[in-house]
Amino acid sequence: MNGLDFDDDMAEEGFSESGIDVPEAEKAVLHLINALGEKPDRDGLKNTPRRVARMYLELLRGYHDDPQKIVNGALFNITYDEMVIVRDIEFYSLCEHHILPFLGRVHVAYLPAGKVIGLSKIPRIVDIYARRLQVQERMTRQIADTIQELLEPYGVAVVVEGLHLCSMMRGVKKHGARMTTSAMLGSFRTNPATRQEFLDNISRGAGPLKI
């Protein structure tokens, strides 16, 4: 099995539940190739509409993932009220304005109020909202609101750092520019010391974002 076959097979697993009309997506990609003045029947492009349509099954799967199902009971009652931080979570998304990638890392913290969540679930929540046509500001708040709803903690903090190819490849072409967004809920908004503790923690050892 070659790499392309593997990608397509993986994508096909989500076909029936994806909500994406793959045949129509293929037609749209074919129309775009024609509109750009290319020859869709040449060797390099012959299977491109099919590959692109199935690629979107994976890149946009977040629309059809349910945070409650992702967590799947991985909430644990525990007596712990100190800050929990998961930092440097990689993400990849598509900007809804130009359908170009933006990518980077997410830092998440919460103050438990009797419940904690399994470690792997926070990166999966990030993926739910990254794997959509997105803007970084909205994605940041969606992650924070979902964790707040699931855990009902004393507070939630989310910081997202992103590199946007729409500003690197086109337009202003500023290759080193990165965007930082944050959402502070509960104690992280009302208590400056709590907020600063979180910001100090995520700044330690943080290297530059790279593509």
Closest to 121 (Cα-Cα) out of 189, 61, 66: 66
Q: Is 150 helix (H, G, I), strand (E, B) or coil?
A: helix
Known catalytic membership, residue 96: yes
User: Hey, what's the torsion of the CAs at 140, 143, 146, 150, to 10 degrees?
Assistant: -140
The DSSP 8-state label assigned to residue 48 in this structure reads: H
Known catalytic membership, residue 95: yes
Which of 97, 137, 149, 175 is catalytic? The answer is 97
Known catalytic membership, residue 82: no
Which of 107, 134, 136, 161 is catalytic? The answer is 136
Which of 26, 148, 166, 197 is catalytic? The answer is 166
Which of 98, 148, 152, 197 is catalytic? The answer is 98
Burial of 199 (0-12, 13-18, 19+ CB in 10 A): middle
Known catalytic membership, residue 164: yes
Which of 96, 137, 149, 196 is catalytic? The answer is 96
Known catalytic membership, residue 12: no
Which of 95, 107, 142, 161 is catalytic? The answer is 95
Known catalytic membership, residue 107: no
Known catalytic membership, residue 134: no
Tokens of 85: 């931080």
Which residues does the annotation mark as catalytic?
Answer: 95-98, 136, 164, 166
